[in-house]
């Protein structure tokens, strides 16, 4: 039985500023890029899983695929609210948002189910080492940031860790070939990098009233090199044929967040600072 939780949390997104962490503008920008990217990406994941569900024959994999899809659907909804708040401040960013959705529509129509599942399994496997680095260093990345935005991202990253092996499991069941997945890594990396670059250059053009440092600085400048190298190595190894996300080292915060959720704490404001908004 799949033990992925479905947590429909209400985050207060309406008033959030573009630079939601004044102590770390470039990290604020990177997370905003993720929001603009992730709605299209997660909707694509949901379509792909629906298609996969037509051909899955193992009841356990089926249950995992459905639970994974339901989690991703909620992620898309919540980041849509964040994107809307940013678009309300900078209406031209609606075009950026729509373009990402169109891009994923095109990709969905252009490629096969095997390709989509390789994309899903490959990218989702990279998230665990990357988000571990972020969660391990949440103090320098989120603590002085707006509590609503910080809590949205911490929830999402913890759930990404929770379902870290779901897409991989579905890929292995439906497609199975390591070589097909490995062969397509450069293609899906090009696709995601292309979208991230485009979102950033649109921000640069349309969001003029933020510090230049937001576009120029390293968002992870306050994180030790050793942690960055470990994360990069983890991302690289996550694509190896023998890799299994289930066995990866997890950030201690993951268990802490899940315990807070189980204890009924208000996880919509679990971390960060109450900023005076607007
Ligand atoms: Fe997600
Ligand atoms: Fe995910």
Kindly list the domain boundaries of the chain, sorted by start residue.
25-269
Distance 137 CA to ligand 1 centre (A): 20
Ligand having the closest approach to the CA of 78? 1
Is the confidence at residue 48, as pLDDT, over 60?
Answer: yes
Report the separation in Å between the CA atom of 124 and the middle of ligand 2, taken as the mean of its atom positions.
Answer: 6
Calculate how far, in angstroms, residue 49's C-alpha sits from the geometric centre of ligand 1.
13
Residue 246 reports pLDDT greater than 90: no
Q: How far is the CA of 57 from the centre of ligand 2 (A)?
A: 22
How far does residue 273's CA lie from ligand 1's centre (Å)? 24
Prediction pTM value: 0.95
What pLDDT, on the 0 to 100 scale, is given for residue 248?
A: 83
146 by DSSP, 3-state: which?
Answer: strand
Question: What is the C-alpha R_g of the chain?
Answer: 18
**Residue 4 to residues 67, 159, 165, Cα–Cα distance (Å):** 6, 8, 11
Q: Which residue has the tokens 């090009």?
A: 190
> Which one of the ligands is nearest to 49 CA?
2
For the CA of 164, the nearest ligand: 2
Within 8 A by CB and 6+ apart from 109, the residues are none
- Cα 164 to middle of ligand 2, angstroms: 7
Ligand 1 mean position, distance from CA 71 (Å) = 7
Q: Which ligand is nearest to the CA of 125?
A: 2
Write out pLDDT tens, residues 124-179. Answer: 999 999 999 999 999 999 999 999 999 999 999 999 999 999 999 999 999 999 99
Gap from CA of 156 to ligand 1 centroid (Å):
6
Structure tokens at 99: 């373009």
* Calpha distance 214→73 (Å, rounded): 30
CA distance 157 to 79: 12
Distance CA 109, CA 191 (A): 15
Please report which ligand is nearest the Cα atom of 166. 2
Q: How far apart are CA 149 and CA 65, in angstroms?
A: 28
Ligand 2 is an ion; its neighbours by CB within 5 Å are 124, 160
Show Cβ contacts of residue 103 under 8 Å, excluding neighbours closer than 6 positions: 40, 191, 195
pLDDT band (50, 70, 90) for residue 278: low
- 192-214 per-position pLDDT tens digit: 999 999 999 999 999 988 888 89
Residue 72 Cα to ligand 2 midpoint, Å, equals: 6
Establish how many alpha carbons lie within 13 A of residue 145's alpha carbon, considering only the half-sphere containing its beta carbon: 28
Residue 60's beta-bridge partner residues?
Answer: none
């Amino acid at each position: 039985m799949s033990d992925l939780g479905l947590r429909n949390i209400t985050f207060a997104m309406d008033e959030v500023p573009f630079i939601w962490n004044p102590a770390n503008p470039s990290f604020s920008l990177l997370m905003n890029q993720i929001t603009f990217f992730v709605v299209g990406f997660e909707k694509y994941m949901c379509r792909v899983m629906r298609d996969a569900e037509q051909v899955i024959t193992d009841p356990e994999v089926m249950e995992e695929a459905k639970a994974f899809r339901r989690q991703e659907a909620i992620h898309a909804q919540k980041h849509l609210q964040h994107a809307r708040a940013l678009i309300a401040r900078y209406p031209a960013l609606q075009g950026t948002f729509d373009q990402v959705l169109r891009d994923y529509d095109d990709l969905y129509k252009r490629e096969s189910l095997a390709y989509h599942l390789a994309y899903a399994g490959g990218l989702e496997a990279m998230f665990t080492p990357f988000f571990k680095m972020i969660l391990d260093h949440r103090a320098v990345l989120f603590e002085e940031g707006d509590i609503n935005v910080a809590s949205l991202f911490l929830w999402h990253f913890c759930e990404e860790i929770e379902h870290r092996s779901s897409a991989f499991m579905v890929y292995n069941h439906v497609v199975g070939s390591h070589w097909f997945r490995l062969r397509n890594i450069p293609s899906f990396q090009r696709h995601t990098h292309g979208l991230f670059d485009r979102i950033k250059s649109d921000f640069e053009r349309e969001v003029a009233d933020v510090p230049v440092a937001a576009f120029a600085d390293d968002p992870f400048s306050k994180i030790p090199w050793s942690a960055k190298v470990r994360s990069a190595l983890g991302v690289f190894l996550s694509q190896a044929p023998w890799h299994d996300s289930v066995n990866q080292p997890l950030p201690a915060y993951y268990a802490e967040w899940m315990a807070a959720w189980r204890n009924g704490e208000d996880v919509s404001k679990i971390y960060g600072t109450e900023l005076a908004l607007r």
